[in-house]
């Protein structure tokens, strides 16, 4: 009994993430009851709220209260904003809502970073304050805020139901890592009857399969057994391995994040909710701007609508410079959103800089393409995609580590100690890593037509065949999870 209680109670080192067996077990039970009371909306939504709160409690303990505070604050501020015709009052309420939301987020996420900056400036010793960071706070703060913004902009009517708003804010599939869904898209879905078509069921199962595979098999395995080792001691390895680790980390971070998102969208679909897409083959991007239309779409769209556009419009007489300034500020904030550390700020600033440069050289670039007669050709798009991928992969280095010596060492190995022949050894001695990286990138670059064909075939399978494939993938994931770490024998030079 004590074991079960220990398993179910809050444990900071064991959040209830989708790829754990505990989540799978609890979710199956929850889904059973959720469908059993499918026709009784009150009970069904009540169950969803209670399970979502438990889900968050399991990851954040009593700090789950912040989630409730967030729901109350934003529900009432949106009501105040909508209830008055006085524009000044609307603005005051909006400003208060923003200050409160960002204040709570800022306290938990950035206090130590700011204290550290002050300590460094005054040359005093930095003593980090003991502040708990509630998991997912950046995601649900932004999710709640978009509701307030959209009500302020008259893009939607506020809901009169606090219950419905709680379902939106607490909704466990997208609570910890997004997608940062829009209230305007989500709230109307609450009113619909629970109905899942055969296609939805197939799509949901396939998303969970894809997510599990990406997260547990690809991301965790190559991360633990290859990428982490190179990043720990880059000088012990040749340029080939360092370059492959950079590619590997790009694949790892994509599979980790998009895998979780796939599972979130799939789980939500099982509950009768359609969440927004968050990734669209980001490494196929032909420019940094294109990358941000494909990577973490819900965040980039949030930043575009509520941060970039207001700044851009207010400075519009500056023409192109309005775009440049707004872009740079937006991406510095985008970096800061990821965490209170300099490497995230620099990462954001780098993306802002690259996009600004891209914007400023857009016209001469187009003229050059026309002159060379390569404008809008497959050839050009191929090279643009390769260059963009390398810029993105290199920028992820700053995301991965705040030790700039490691980045310097990695590049120095790539440029001065490459040893191309080691590539064959790598493929021969580490076939699983090599195979997973090849498979990961091959699946990512798979033509859309082929991808849609696979989806169509899978959804046409009977439910038991789909369930069997899911069980097989869970089994494979479990094998990878418990697999022994492959020793790096030939990497020692």
Partner 1 sequence: MISQELKTVILKQLNLDDFDLQGETIAPQVPGWDSLNHINIILAVEQKFGIKFKSRELLQLKCVGDLQKLVDSKLGK
Cα 315 to Cα 322: distance, rounded to the nearest angstrom:
5
> Which one, 314 or 479, has the nearer CB to partner 1?
314
| Paired tokens of 489 | 């024998």
Cα 185 to Cα 195: distance, rounded to the nearest angstrom:
17
Long-range contacts of 153-158 (CB under 8 A, 24+ apart): 155/184, 156/183, 156/184, 156/187, 157/82, 158/75, 158/78, 158/79, 158/81, 158/82
Contact 203, 269 (CB under 8 A): yes
Torsion angles phi and psi, residue 130, rounded to 5: -85, 85
* Cβ 277 to partner 1 shortest distance, Å: 14
* Cβ 91 to partner 1 shortest distance, Å: 9
* Cβ 336 to partner 1 shortest distance, Å: 21
* Cβ 290 to partner 1 shortest distance, Å: 10
With a CB cutoff of 8 Å and minimum separation 6, the contacts of 290 are: 388
Residues of this chain that interact with partner 1 (CB under 8 A) are 153-155, 289, 304-305, 308-310, 312-314, 316-317, 319, 322-323, 359
* Cβ 314 to partner 1 shortest distance, Å: 5
Residue 338 catalytic? yes
Cα 116 to Cα 35: distance, rounded to the nearest angstrom:
50
Cα 359 to Cα 352: distance, rounded to the nearest angstrom:
11
* Cβ 33 to partner 1 shortest distance, Å: 39
> Which one, 23 or 292, has the nearer CB to partner 1?
292
Cα 388 to Cα 391: distance, rounded to the nearest angstrom:
5
> Which one, 59 or 300, has the nearer CB to partner 1?
300
* Cβ 316 to partner 1 shortest distance, Å: 5
CA distances to 140, 156, 220, 224, 274 from 174, in Å: 8, 21, 21, 26, 11
> Which one, 310 or 487, has the nearer CB to partner 1?
310
> Which one, 307 or 476, has the nearer CB to partner 1?
307
Cα 34 to Cα 52: distance, rounded to the nearest angstrom:
12
> Which one, 313 or 463, has the nearer CB to partner 1?
313
* Cβ 318 to partner 1 shortest distance, Å: 9
Out of 93, 296, 338, 351, the active site residue is: 338
> Which one, 68 or 304, has the nearer CB to partner 1?
304
Cα 450 to Cα 455: distance, rounded to the nearest angstrom:
9
Residue 228: exposed, middle, or buried by beta-carbon count in 10 A (0-12, 13-18, 19+)?
A: middle
Cα 164 to Cα 190: distance, rounded to the nearest angstrom:
7
CA distances to 286, 289, 295 from 220, in Å: 28, 28, 20
Cα 260 to Cα 266: distance, rounded to the nearest angstrom:
10
DSSP state, residue 224? I
Short-list 354, 337, 356, 336, CA closest to 345: 336
Q: Which residues are catalytic?
A: 338
């Amino acid at each position: 009994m004590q074991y079960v209680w220990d398993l179910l109670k809050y444990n900071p080192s064991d959040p209830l993430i989708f790829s754990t067996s505990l989540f799978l077990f609890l979710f199956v039970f929850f889904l059973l009851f959720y469908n059993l009371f499918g026709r009784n909306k009150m009970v069904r939504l009540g169950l969803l709220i209670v399970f979502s709160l438990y889900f968050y409690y399991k990851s954040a303990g009593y700090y789950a209260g912040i989630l409730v505070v967030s729901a109350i604050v934003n529900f009432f501020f949106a009501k105040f904003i909508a209830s008055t015709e006085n524009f000044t009052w609307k603005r005051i309420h909006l400003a208060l809502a923003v200050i409160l939301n960002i204040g709570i987020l800022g306290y938990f996420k950035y206090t130590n970073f700011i204290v550290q900056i002050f300590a460094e400036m005054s040359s005093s010793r930095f003593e980090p304050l003991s502040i708990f960071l509630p998991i997912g706070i950046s995601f649900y703060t932004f999710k709640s805020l978009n509701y307030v913004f959209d009500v302020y902009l008259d893009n939607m009517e506020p809901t009169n139901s606090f219950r419905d708003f709680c379902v939106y804010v607490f909704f466990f599939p997208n609570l910890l890592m997004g997608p940062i869904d829009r209230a305007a898209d989500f709230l109307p879905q609450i009113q619909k009857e629970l109905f899942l078509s055969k296609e939805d069921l197939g799509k949901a199962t396939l998303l969970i399969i894809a997510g599990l595979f990406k997260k547990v098999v690809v991301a965790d395995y190559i991360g633990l057994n290859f990428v982490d080792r190179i990043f720990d001691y880059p000088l012990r390895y040749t340029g080939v391995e360092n370059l492959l680790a950079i590619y590997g980390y790009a694949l790892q971070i994509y599979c980790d994040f998009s895998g979780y998102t796939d599972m979130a969208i799939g789980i939500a679909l099982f509950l009768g909710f359609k969440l927004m897409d968050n990734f669209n083959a980001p490494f196929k991007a032909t420019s940094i701007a294109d990358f941000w239309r494909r990577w973490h779409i819900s965040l980039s769209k949030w930043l575009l609508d509520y941060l970039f556009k207001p700044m851009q419009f207010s400075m519009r007489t500056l023409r192109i410079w309005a775009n440049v300034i707004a872009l740079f500020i937006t991406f510095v904030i985008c970096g800061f959103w990821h965490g209170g550390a300099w490497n995230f700020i620099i990462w954001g600033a780098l993306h802002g800089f690259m996009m600004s440069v891209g914007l400023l050289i857009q016209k001469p670039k187009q003229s050059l393409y026309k002159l060379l007669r390569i404008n809008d050709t497959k050839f050009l798009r191929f090279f643009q995609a390769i260059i963009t991928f390398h810029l993105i992969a290199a920028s992820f280095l700053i995301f991965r580590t705040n030790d700039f010596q490691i980045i310097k060492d990695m590049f120095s190995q790539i440029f001065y100690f490459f040893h191309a022949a080691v590539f064959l050894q790598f493929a021969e001695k580490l076939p699983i890593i090599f195979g997973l990286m090849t498979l990961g990138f091959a699946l990512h670059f798979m033509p859309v037509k082929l991808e849609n064909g696979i989806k169509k075939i899978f959804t046409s399978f009977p439910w038991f065949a789909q369930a069997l494939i899911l069980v097989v993938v869970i089994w494979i994931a479990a094998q990878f999870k418990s697999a022994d770490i492959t020793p790096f024998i030939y990497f020692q030079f």
